[in-house]
Amino acid sequence: MLPYLTRRAVHSVVALLGLVVAVFFLARLTGDPTDLFLPLDASREERAEFAHKHGYDRPATEQFVHFVGDVMEGNLGFSLRKQRPAMELVLEAYPTTLKLAAVTLLLGISLAVAVGALAAYRPGGLFDRVGSTGSLIGASAPDFWVAITAILLFSVSLGWLPTSGTGGFLYWIMPVTVLALRPFGLLVQVVRGAMLDALASAYVKTARAKGVGESSVIYVHALRNACLPVVTVAGDIAVGMVNGAVIVETVFGWPGVGKLMIDAVIQRDFAVVQASIMVTAAAIFLMNILIDLLYVALDPRIRHQ
Amino acid sequence: MFRDRVRQLGITTMGVAALTALMLIAPGASYAQKTITVVLPEEPDSLDNCNSGRSNVGRVLRQNVNETLIELDPNDSSLKPRLATSWKQLNDTTWRFNLRKGVKYSDGKPLTPEAIISSVDKALNPKLDCNTRTKTFSGFKIRVVKVDAQTIDIVTPTPDPILPVRLTQMTIGAANEPIQIMNNSVGTGPYMIEHYKANSEVVLKRNPHFWGKKPQLDGARYVWRTESAVGAAMVKVGEAHIATNISHEDAKDQKTDFAYPNSETNYLRIESLVPPLNDKRVRQALNHAVDLNGLHGAIIPKQAMIATQMVIPRIAGHNHALDKRRFEYSPAKAKKLLADAKAAGVKVDTPIDLICRINQWENTTETCEAIMAMYKNVGLNIKLKMLEVSQWVQLNAHPNKGALTPEADANIKGRGPILLGHMHDNNVGDPVFSMYNKYGCKSQTSSHCMPELDKKIAAATETPAGPKRVKLWEETMAMVHENALDVFMFHMVGFARVSPKINFKPTAATNSEVLLEQITFK
Amino acid sequence: MSAPANNATSAATIAAAIADTRAIAAQAEMVTVRKGLPWWRLLARDPLALCAAVWLVLMLLCMLAGPEWLGKAATDINLRARNLPPGSTEKGWIMFLGSDALGRSMLARLVVASRNTLTVAFTAVVVAMLLGGVLGLIAGYIGRGVGNLIMRLSDVVQSFPSLLLAVVVLYMLEPRVANLIIVLAVTRIPSYLRVTRAQVLEIRERGFVDAARAMGGSSTHILWRHVVPIVAPTLLTILTVDFAIVMLAESGLSFLGIGIQPPEITWGLMVAQGRNYLTQAWWLAFFPGLAIMITTLSANLLSNWLRLVTDPVQRWRLEAPKTAVKTNA
């Protein structure tokens, strides 16, 4: 196990470095921030001066050498917009993203497993129809539409929930629900499919024949064997979430790394793009390692080379 | 219908809503009673007075935390004393300002000439990219000289007859600030920054040392919501008191929603040096073909005003006579002009790109789609492209000026004639901030070059404030109109939702500042 | 899990047994039942799946002929008829779903937009599934160097913000449909890749794969005959949901000014444009959203149905009368 982990860690670091280099050069293909940052009517001289001061007038390779030098000194660059260390901005925003992702995943996955498993128990039955159709509707609805309609309904008309912002339990309800809709919908489908296979398999029949109770059949025997695709897809969703959730972040005023990154890409704030990718990519790589380890834990026959 | 049902529910539960909101939510409840919550469309980039020209910073800081020497009245563009009580011009390049007595910063230190010198030096320091420098004092480094404890002189590098107007854009910070962008600006205004929580809120509280009349509000809390519907909802349910910059579509409640002229003017920038747009008849046809009345009140809010020139009516130099001589909407006239041009050998069938920028003003896409249809209707070969901001700013900064385009400019290679959807914001109060940039032969962002117009602009720029200057500016406006250099559309409006619990009237300045001292509880 | 072959035989026996009992009751149908009902009969028995199929055929027709049929109505601007609510009849059936902010028929725009929307979504999702699936098979079955390389590359793609990719591609190239497909497909590949690989890792340890290997089956043969059939249903499930995700991702890009822009139309673009009118003209964003939703649902229902039909273990659920389903479940 340890040699595997070491090798995996080394590979991941190499891939991460490759990613940072790729992002550095690709970001610079998307245009020069000078025109975006300066007032619309800035003069030619002023544009030239600004570009020179920030090095945008030099070839990308030269800028890269400069960047590497800075990184060696522990300087990951300054945000052009905010004039603050880019990494500081990312680390300020990241806890929000992680909190939101953790709660949403926990809720989304457990609910999806329960609903998906029950739906598979009687395919074509009422619960299956309602459960899987309902979850799909949630998954395919435009999230900003759901978010704003929810605010208009639950905050403005009914007055049950605060519109937006951070705070106690009530503040979490709408953002988490909206964010969970899509993962929930996808997972219900996957759980249902995997369970259909598992329920038809020989060992479930054996379990039934042995007189094991139905709920035990579903949630222990079948689910255990259905969990591989479920874990993979759930992992995939989790990876997507540590990348941020722009719509929920912007609509509900929970600015996390998703909004930070989008703004940075739009504004060509390269340092922030790089810093946020370094952080989110590290999280994603770590998560993928954990998921792969989870496979082995769930099914000891799986070996990792 | 869904909307009706929502509204019905809304009426029946309004009482409950207000009560629950107060009990469970109202974050304002933890603050002093006379505190308001303001919803802004975006988070301030920083809280440094040298960036107060950026609207997201200015809305929090300007005149609330950091004051200017001279204040611009948003209603008539007149100048009012603020930190300077009076001023006069000594010679072409020197102005003398008498400072207000007894002014103290929120940390108790007095406002001195030295502090002003230090603050101005920071704002204009080329090491920083302060907005004050890049926007208002670009290539124009003023020098502040102490005369005595209550008097300063400001020396300009070249004669500047409107220095006082320029100074309305420069907020004054504390002495010896570090040469970096900060998030804790200290100033002399009625309020001071209590705390700033990134990604969450800015809270201002009363400045105990404020020199002026004690304002009613104890403080203010600023939060930001990108989605206009959410900001509007927050005021509606009582979570906030003011939501600035809500959309026209969300501002349908006559009791709480106010339209205010926001000093922005949208227009299509014509590349008047590129064929076939270098033909006056074609440009006139472009103007006659657009049905502004049709857009007005439909896609563009009815409170907006149809524009005939670059600057808004309250700016001295706006040519009011032109507003009565608009290009009338007449496809027939447009077709005739195009036919005449064609007969004279102008290639009117050349493909022309109509390029607009996503969300530049509300309903940009709809506006540009409609205009495209109108141009097609008169037989122009027009193609619409909607661009994101980064691509658009490059087109803006590199107009095709035909033979006058600098050799080095590779940006315009292979480009056909372009009509660039544009919006100009002159909230400063003098046409000089518009006319040179938009029409000067040597301006980076001007797509035009008319030597007579160039001369007229130069003459107006050098003329001291007064009727003569106003008249010269009016003549430049008329010249632009006569030559149909651009297609002007609307002087736009913004919308704000204001809680019925407070007195606040949005003004033309609300985009760039929200004066807390003028807000009172009912 | 034992070899599926066993499952298949036992299930076939059950199915045949049920068919036999049915056959006694309905002599006339005996022959068809024994051979299995033809697919359209099976479809007709599942009303939801039937609706789904009808909708998808309808969409296919819109896609093929929509722009030619209603192209003019979709672009004709009429500022006097702007934001007509749904159900408006004074301007004719074309305004049945209301009109947009420029007075263009919503119905016509939805129909015309189906071509771009479905081309983009279908191609992107299928390309992502095929590429992701094949790479996942390789990574899972071969493992070692190549597999590791593929997985780390997939990590990189997964970590690369899709918006940045979109800006890069659509900034360098034109925001054309083909380029948009590339962007959307690339960002979806890692999901399929990881799911496929995870299942292959498990399947290749099963007895029947070992047996096939021992009998000298080539890798491609084993993958194609034994592994793919087990992985495919999960991929198909994800694919149908991805339909919606891709259409909405495209909407997000349009909203930010990247991606497809007017005068082109997609459902995603319509949703993005309707965003400003949520409180005043809800139908602007609602109907394109509904179209996305129904299409996704239909794809999903039909794929679930297909799964039942093609799965010998489950097929009896469709063929047997309702009472049999209940007793056997």
Average pLDDT over residues C81-89: 82
How near does any CA of chain A get to the CA of C83, in Å?
A: 18
What's residue A216's pLDDT?
Answer: 77
User: Which residues of chain A neighbour C51 with C-beta distances below 8 Å?
Assistant: none
CB contact under 8 Å between C156 and A19, yes or no, is yes
Average pLDDT over residues B249-264: 90
CB contact under 8 Å between B299 and C79, yes or no, is yes
Same domain (yes/no): B86, B124: yes
CB contact under 8 Å between C271 and A233, yes or no, is no
Average pLDDT over residues B473-487: 95
Among the partner-chain residues B45, B234, B437, the one whose CB lies closest to the CB of A82 is B45
CA angle B370, B373, B374 (to 5 degrees): 90
What's residue B120's pLDDT?
Answer: 94
Whole-angstrom distance, CA of residue C292 vs CA of residue C294: 6
What's residue B8's pLDDT?
Answer: 42
Quick one: pLDDT band at residue B16, thresholds 50, 70, 90? very low
CATH code, B289: 3.10.105.10
Strands (E) in B47-176, as ranges, are 70-72, 79-81, 84-91, 94-99, 143-148, 151-155
CB contact under 8 Å between B46 and A82, yes or no, is yes
Same domain (yes/no): B307, B374: yes
pLDDT of B294-331, one tens digit each? 999 889 999 999 999 999 998 989 999 999 999 999 99
Exposed/middle/buried for residue C207 (C-beta within 10 Å: 0-12, 13-18, 19+): exposed
Q: Kind and range of the H or E element at C235?
A: helix C228-256
Q: How many CA atoms lie within 13 A of A36 on its CB side?
A: 21
Q: Does B389 touch chain C (CB under 8 A)?
A: yes
What's residue B9's pLDDT?
Answer: 37
User: Which residues of chain B neighbour C263 with C-beta distances below 8 Å?
Assistant: 369, 372, 384
Q: Number of H helices and number of E strands within chain C?
A: 15, 0
pLDDT of A46-100, one tens digit each? 888 899 988 888 888 999 999 999 888 888 888 988 888 999 999 999 998 999 9
Q: Does B126 touch chain C (CB under 8 A)?
A: no
> Are B450 and B480 a contacting pair, CB within 8 Å?
no
What's residue C204's pLDDT?
Answer: 80
Same domain (yes/no): B382, B327: yes
Same domain (yes/no): B126, B231: no
User: Which residues of chain C neighbour A145 with C-beta distances below 8 Å?
Assistant: 271, 275, 278, 285-286, 289
pLDDT of C286-328, one tens digit each? 999 899 889 988 888 888 888 777 766 666 666 665 444 443 3
User: Which residues of chain B neighbour A166 with C-beta distances below 8 Å?
Assistant: 200
Residue B451 lies in a domain: yes
Average pLDDT over residues B55-82: 91
Among the partner-chain residues B6, B20, B445, the one whose CB lies closest to the CB of A159 is B20
Picking from B112, B134, B167, the residue at the C-terminal end of a domain is: B167
Token pair of C186 as six digits: 């690339």
Q: Kind of pairing, strands B94-99 and B151-155? A: antiparallel
Ramachandran sector of residue B4 (left: φ over 0; alpha: ψ -120 to 50; beta: rest): alpha
pLDDT of C194-229, one tens digit each? 989 988 888 887 777 778 877 877 878 888 888 888
Residue B178 lies in a domain: no
Range of the domain at B49: 2-65+185-259+495-521
Residue B347 lies in a domain: yes
Same domain (yes/no): B364, B434: yes
In degrees and rounded to multiples of 5, residue B129 shows phi and psi of -110, 50
Domain residue spans in chain A? 2-72, 87-298
Residue B81 lies in a domain: yes
What's residue C18's pLDDT?
Answer: 43
How near does any CA of chain B get to the CA of A30, in Å?
A: 8
CATH code, B223: 3.40.190.10
Q: Give the closest residue to C254 by CA, choosing from C295, C278, C288.
A: C288
CB contact under 8 Å between C155 and A23, yes or no, is no
What's residue A227's pLDDT?
Answer: 80
In chain C, residues 247-276 whose CB comes closer than 8 Å to chain B = 256-258, 261-263, 273, 276
Whole-angstrom distance, CA of residue C176 vs CA of residue C266: 12
Quick one: pLDDT band at residue A212, thresholds 50, 70, 90? confident
B233 has a pLDDT exceeding 90: yes
How near does any CA of chain A get to the CA of B434, in Å?
A: 9
Whole-angstrom distance, CA of residue B311 vs CA of residue B309: 6
ipTM above 0.90, yes or no: no
CB contact under 8 Å between C276 and B368, yes or no, is no
More confident: B226 or B15: B226
What's residue B30's pLDDT?
Answer: 45
What's residue B167's pLDDT?
Answer: 93
Q: Does C169 touch chain B (CB under 8 A)?
A: no
Same domain (yes/no): B191, B216: yes
Average pLDDT over residues B204-227: 93
CATH class of A87-298: mainly alpha
CB contact under 8 Å between A277 and C168, yes or no, is no
Among the partner-chain residues B1, B370, B386, the one whose CB lies closest to the CB of C85 is B1
Amino acid at B289: A
CA angle A254, A19, A59 (to 5 degrees): 105
Instruction: Give the least confident one: B282-291, B319-328, B467-476, C91-100.
Output: C91-100
Same domain (yes/no): B439, B314: yes
A123 has a pLDDT exceeding 80: no
Same domain (yes/no): B192, B93: no
Residue B450 lies in a domain: yes
CB contact under 8 Å between A247 and C275, yes or no, is no
More confident: A304 or B80: B80
User: Which residues of chain A neighbour C329 with C-beta distances below 8 Å?
Assistant: 121-122, 125
CB contact under 8 Å between B225 and A159, yes or no, is no
Same domain (yes/no): B430, B450: yes
Nearest CA in chain C to B360: C257
Token pair of C88 as six digits: 């408006």
More confident: B63 or C240: B63
Same domain (yes/no): B476, B507: no
Instruction: Give the least confident one: B26-40, B163-177, B458-472.
Output: B26-40
Q: How far is CA A190 from CA A198, A228, B48, C94, in A?
A: 12, 10, 51, 40
Among the partner-chain residues B2, B298, B386, the one whose CB lies closest to the CB of C262 is B386
Residue B366 lies in a domain: yes
pLDDT of C4-48, one tens digit each? 433 433 444 444 444 444 444 444 333 334 456 677 777 877 788
> Are C156 and C94 a contacting pair, CB within 8 Å?
no
Whole-angstrom distance, CA of residue C48 vs CA of residue C53: 9
Residue B226 lies in a domain: yes
| A neighbours by CB contacts (3+ pairs under 8 Å) | B, C
Same domain (yes/no): B469, B506: no
More confident: B17 or C300: C300
B7 has a pLDDT exceeding 80: no
Q: How many domains does chain B have?
A: 3
> Are C276 and C255 a contacting pair, CB within 8 Å?
no
User: Which residues of chain A neighbour B233 with C-beta distances below 8 Å?
Assistant: 151-152, 155-156, 163
Instruction: Please list the residues that pair with B154 across neighbouring strands.
Output: B95, B144
CB contact under 8 Å between B369 and C262, yes or no, is yes
Looking at every residue in chain A, the average pLDDT score rounds to: 87
Instruction: Give the least confident one: B143-147, B364-368, C2-6, C108-112.
Output: C2-6
CATH code, B140: 3.90.76.10
CB contact under 8 Å between C244 and A139, yes or no, is yes
Whole-angstrom distance, CA of residue B475 vs CA of residue C237: 69
Same domain (yes/no): B148, B91: yes
CB contact under 8 Å between C79 and B298, yes or no, is yes
What's residue B145's pLDDT?
Answer: 94
What's residue C314's pLDDT?
Answer: 63
A40 has a pLDDT exceeding 90: no
Residue B177 lies in a domain: no
**Percent residues over pLDDT 90 in chain A:** 28
More confident: B12 or B428: B428
What's residue B482's pLDDT?
Answer: 94
pLDDT of C227-285, one tens digit each? 888 888 888 888 888 888 888 888 888 877 788 888 888 888 898 888 888 878 888 88
B23 has a pLDDT exceeding 50: no
CB contact under 8 Å between A164 and B234, yes or no, is yes
Amino acid at C247: M
A42 has a pLDDT exceeding 90: no
What's residue B288's pLDDT?
Answer: 96
Q: Does B365 touch chain C (CB under 8 A)?
A: yes
What's residue A303's pLDDT?
Answer: 65
What's residue C315's pLDDT?
Answer: 66
How near does any CA of chain B get to the CA of A276, in Å?
A: 15
pLDDT of C127-177, one tens digit each? 999 999 999 999 988 877 888 899 889 989 988 888 888 888 877 777 778
CB contact under 8 Å between C194 and A281, yes or no, is no
